[in-house]
Structure 1
């Protein structure tokens, strides 16, 4: 018995020709039948008849007709004057808020909550005013800058005056704030000089280095660190800001406990990772509202003014303070195809030298001080530009102009709900990437350590591990950053783990050291500092508690230096992530990006080391 198979021709609607209104005939490959949601939505809208309330098949009564006419009138007015209507809404909201603000200050002033409300309102108003009136007031500033730029001799005089004033201020601060009260901190200054020298001799073109961005990038770091690490008000201000961020991120627990119930069972997965989702949704909302673009524009203009860098690379550096190395380039996507090699290098270095705001909360969950993480993110932005321009100086003519600041677009979402949902959905890939990388690198690290330990045991060397090798190999790096000699091996170990695995594992390792020091402090408060404990190589034995702190602990200064040195995505694994993301945004520059990615990763690491040097230079216990 045989069965004959015949081809069945799909039946077409009446009046339809072959290939029309039938996707089976439109493409030869079934893969081509798949459409993105946006394409499907567009086709649906194009094929749907336009709604006309005046032309319906049924008759409306008087009430329905009046309501329909009113709706049509309102919609027409809005479509003709959308900007005016939203401006009126914004003014009304602003007036209502200022009324609330005045009454709140009148009712309760002087407590922490009133200060928080005052500071937040002042900063928000300043940001709004700057973005609203800048186009109106920028003419005299641009004219002044153009006049200076056109007059080379005058520009040179102004530059040198600023250089001299800045150097004098730096010397005075170093003598008064560092050399006299804490002379041992000056070792960090030697480390700063050493790192700069090494970057200079390894530059792609040492003879073409423009020292202006290098000088001012380091100067910005210097003054910023002097404020937050040496002044009581600066330290308290950033500590307060860090506490507010911790308080804000703590709201993640509401969602985590609802989904996972007991979040302490698997702390990393159930407590740390949900923070990434929450913060990602929040960042997406700020993008939709245009708040993030406004903040980045202000920081970008400031960096460009101080360092003389182009708008595109300055905006990217500013964006990296708040978002990750793959998200920040989205703001400058239109410029990537025409960027110079030096500008591309600056973009990549900025990504490697900073961390994303979405993972900031995760590191805070490890017990890392939030004020130092926050200041490290801000300080690394000018450091990244400085080191990038030192290791890969500009040798081409840039196509960037001052108008590039206005080319950042708002989010394409249609409302806040979609923005929040899209941000949360975006975190799925980020969390998956974090988890699989942590699993993979921890497993590989365990395998490497087991292998090295086996080889070490063959010749009588115990505890011969990857961390052990890094603790000696990177000892000079830790020492030059200003780490106490007793802690240099531990800091070198952390830097090695961060560079060759990732910063998550390094901060997790730092968490153990932070907890060990807190345990030791609790112990000494009970039994005193002498005779009740002792060092056993790198471990600390607490005799009264019969406890051994296996990896020991570090001094607070070494902990702070480690926090700054680890605060960046500059590791081997991130090279592939950033290269893939930028290649997707600018396929024509893939070869250029591949040729500089390793150099940019090294530059990002050095930028983190410079930030750690500055932190070690100004560190003081409060």
Structure 2
């Protein structure tokens, strides 16, 4: 590096990092040749949307003077580079395609158990219950086995170390961010439960944001079974990890001193023994915390691999039951709300009034800023994607993905609009998840319930927008053909 350039980067590191990030994004966005459904005008709108989202978070930052620009610019650059690798390089796409296909094949083995319990004809019925529940139970049990062997801890620990040193975040934040796509929004916080009572407000905000911005491996399997592109799901989850860090540190900068700064801790018996000694409790309990239906419960540690699978199967059944029950109730409540709105709409000459119609117009500007196709079907793609976004936020991503793949009105979406929708819906950012996260974190740190509640809404918005910025990047880089 020339002496003058080296002096500039040492004196103005944030400006230098910002310039590098801008150059990467602008060159990566506009250098590739145009295609039919990804013109430079389309890319410009997606890029504009990302700038608007980041600008809005900077304008509403809790303390602009304390923003960690290394996390903001580094996270944004990492998110875009990951998008480039997946969507603009054959090697990157092949890697994520391989991961997605292997995950899909792995989850497909759950059908062997389904056939044993029923028969082969059931697999072709197309029922949500049959497609989702066995895969969820099998995957949770498999993850429990990997955790018992120590593979999940090894993988998460290495990811966390990278985030800690490259983005300048605390170890606790890095662990949760790295773990969220693997084991979910509640279980990831369990990994740092011994530090939960001492987290700063900014760390709590980041922990919650990571959960809202990504989806867990257990439900990832369900979306693949529903027909969503494995590449879109896996890449969206990975891209949303640095995005959640960047936006959280922009919206809620660190003003305290994290106890895990510079360290990437994972829960183990040594940590638990230390925590017990600090609280005056001798010894180590042979139990571990487990997150189920908004509560953290104590479960016996697995004695061996077979025991781990058994415990995981029971946990998977609980999670699958929670998914089935919540989807059933939410769909029924949405039907009730639509019935009441239709009844009221008949008196004001709007008989088609519904939740979807209202959300379609409220979130229309958001769909436009994502870069959704503006010409297909007279521009109706904008309203339809906005409806899906609203359903995802009000209900959950299960319902939204179900509509995207099975509702005939969304079958006319262009390939560009469909890919952007796949990315935009890939996160736990919905109102019901707020209750789940508050319940989980307050169980882990009862004395911090007020702090958790105070940052929850901000974290929800941040997590939702983190997922949307991944959709922005998809809009800048993809022509849509490869992810159908």
TM-score range, shorter chain: 0.7 to 0.9
Describe how 1:87-106 pairs up with structure 2 within 5 A. Answer: none
Give 1:233 deviation, angstroms: 2.3
Structure 2 Cα separation of the partners of residues 245 and 409 of structure 1? 31
On the 8 A contact 1:178/1:618 being kept in 2, the answer is no
Query: Which residue of structure 2 aligns with residue 216 of structure 1?
Result: 74
Over aligned residues, Cα RMSD in angstroms? 2.2
SS in 2 for 1:511: helix
Alignment CA distance shift 1:380-1:192 (3 Å):
same
SS in 1 for 2:462: helix
Query: Which residue of structure 2 aligns with residue 373 of structure 1?
Result: 233
On the 8 A contact 1:331/1:409 being kept in 2, the answer is no
Describe how 1:334-483 pairs up with structure 2 within 5 A. Answer: 334-405=194-265, 407-408=267-268, 412-483=301-372
Structure 1 Cα separation of the partners of residues 205 and 395 of structure 2? 22
Query: Which residue of structure 1 aligns with residue 282 of structure 2?
Result: none
Q: Which has the higher contact order (CA 8 A, sep 6+)?
A: 2
Describe how 1:561-580 pairs up with structure 2 within 5 A. Answer: 561-580=420-439
The match for 1:327 among 184, 187, 195 is 187
Structure 1 Cα separation of the partners of residues 461 and 267 of structure 2? 31
SS in 1 for 2:53: helix
Larger radius of gyration: 1
On the 8 A contact 2:233/2:423 being kept in 1, the answer is yes
Structure 1 Cα separation of the partners of residues 153 and 132 of structure 2? 27
Structure 2 Cα separation of the partners of residues 419 and 232 of structure 1? 38
Structure 2 Cα separation of the partners of residues 561 and 259 of structure 1? 38
**What's the CA shift string for 1:65-101, capped at 9, x where partnerless?**
xxxxxxxxxxxxxxxxxxxxxxxxxxxxxxxxxxxxx
Query: Which residue of structure 2 aligns with residue 76 of structure 1?
Result: none
Query: Which residue of structure 1 aligns with residue 156 of structure 2?
Result: 296
Q: Tell me, yes or no, if structure 1 residue 198 matches structure 2 residue 60.
A: no
Q: Tell me, yes or no, if structure 1 residue 591 matches structure 2 residue 447.
A: no
Give 1:169 deviation, angstroms: 3.5
Give 1:399 deviation, angstroms: 1.4
Give 1:205 deviation, angstroms: 2.4
Describe how 1:611-622 pairs up with structure 2 within 5 A. Answer: 611-620=470-479, 621-622=481-482
Q: Tell me, yes or no, if structure 1 residue 502 matches structure 2 residue 360.
A: no
Structure 1 Cα separation of the partners of residues 394 and 357 of structure 2? 14
Alignment CA distance shift 1:161-1:603 (3 Å):
closer
Structure 1 Cα separation of the partners of residues 454 and 445 of structure 2? 15
Structure 2 Cα separation of the partners of residues 267 and 182 of structure 1? 39
Give 1:268 deviation, angstroms: 1.5
SS in 2 for 1:177: coil
Query: Which residue of structure 2 aligns with residue 168 of structure 1?
Result: 23
Alignment CA distance shift 1:294-1:205 (3 Å):
same
On the 8 A contact 2:205/2:459 being kept in 1, the answer is yes
Q: Tell me, yes or no, if structure 1 residue 556 matches structure 2 residue 415.
A: yes
* TM-score of the superposed pair, with normalisation by structure 2: 0.85
**How many residue pairs get matched?**
436
Query: Which residue of structure 2 aligns with residue 245 of structure 1?
Result: 103
Structure 1 Cα separation of the partners of residues 238 and 472 of structure 2? 15
Structure 2 Cα separation of the partners of residues 207 and 157 of structure 1? 15
Structure 1 Cα separation of the partners of residues 185 and 303 of structure 2? 26
Q: Unpaired runs of 5+ in structure 1?
A: 1-151, 514-548
Q: Tell me, yes or no, if structure 1 residue 600 matches structure 2 residue 459.
A: yes
Query: Which residue of structure 1 aligns with residue 92 of structure 2?
Result: 234
SS in 1 for 2:128: helix
Query: Which residue of structure 2 aligns with residue 182 of structure 1?
Result: 39
Alignment CA distance shift 1:200-1:403 (3 Å):
closer
On the 8 A contact 2:14/2:70 being kept in 1, the answer is no
> Once structures 1 and 2 are overlaid, which stretch shifts more, 429-438 or 475-484?
429-438
Structure 2 Cα separation of the partners of residues 214 and 367 of structure 1? 34
On the 8 A contact 2:175/2:264 being kept in 1, the answer is no
Alignment CA distance shift 1:492-1:292 (3 Å):
same
Structure 2 Cα separation of the partners of residues 398 and 341 of structure 1? 10
Structure 1 Cα separation of the partners of residues 33 and 360 of structure 2? 28
Give 1:345 deviation, angstroms: 0.4
Give 1:168 deviation, angstroms: 3.4
Give 1:247 deviation, angstroms: 1.1
Give 1:461 deviation, angstroms: 1.5
